[in-house]
Structure 1
Amino acid sequence: MTIGSEQRRRERRPEVEALFGPRHTEAALDLLQLADLAWHDCYPDDLALRPDVLGDVLLCSRGDLATLIRVTREAVVDFRDVRLAADAIRAGRTR
């Protein structure tokens, strides 16, 4: 079943708000919506960022909006680099 962008936004809101706080929630959600569009352009079979890629992006952002912008762009260009960075964070190999 396909879900729309507004439903994705609603589903993402709690995690995004917990990570970025109420001040930056809307901006972060706007960026993720743009990322969905870019992702679909690069990967036409996917309507939005894959859940695992989204998780990696949010983890690597560390709650910083500027970092979210950079990491999101990198994920669309080559999500494997973001996966490696997220795995390093999970393993405690980076601060």
Structure 2
Amino acid sequence: MAVGSAQRRQERKPRIEGQFSSADVEAALDLLQLVDMAWHDCFGPRELEVPAQVLDDVLLLAEGDLAKLIRVSRSAVQDFRDVRVAADSERAKGR
């Protein structure tokens, strides 16, 4: 079942509220909507949104910072494998 952008935004909001300052929540959600559009443009008609694991990687690396979210999101759309390697490295540090 296809999920619309408004529904994705609502589903993501609690997670974003938990990671970003209240002043940045709406901007972060706006950015993720743009990232979904860019993902769709880059990866074809079946890819309507950023895959969950890529989103997890992006949010981990953003560390609750809007500027980092912008940079990491851009990198993920360009080549998500680089973001995956960086996120896996961060996860390994937490073990």
1:16 aligned partner: 16
Using the aligned pairs only, state the percent identity.
Answer: 59
Which residue in the other structure is 2:78 paired with? 77
Cα deviation 1:29-83 (Å, max 9, x = unaligned): 0000000000000011200100110000000000010000000000000000000
What is the identity, as a one-letter code, of the residue corresponding to 2:49?
Answer: A
> By how many angstroms is 1:22 displaced?
1.2
The separation in 1 between residues aligned to 2:60 and 2:21, in whole angstroms, is 15
Compute the RMSD of aligned alpha carbons: 0.9
- Aligned residue identity for 1:81: D
Tell me by how many angstroms 1:21 deviates. 2.1
TM norm structure 1: 0.95
The one-letter amino acid paired with 1:82 is: V
Task: For 1:38-77, list aligned pairs within 5 A.
Answer: 38-44=38-44, 45-77=46-78
The 3-state SS of whatever aligns with 1:21 is coil
In structure 1, stretches of 5+ residues that fail to align are none
Alignment gaps of 5+ in structure 2: none
The whole-number CA distance in structure 2 between the counterparts of 1:8 and 1:37 is: 12
Q: Does 1:32 align with 2:36?
A: no
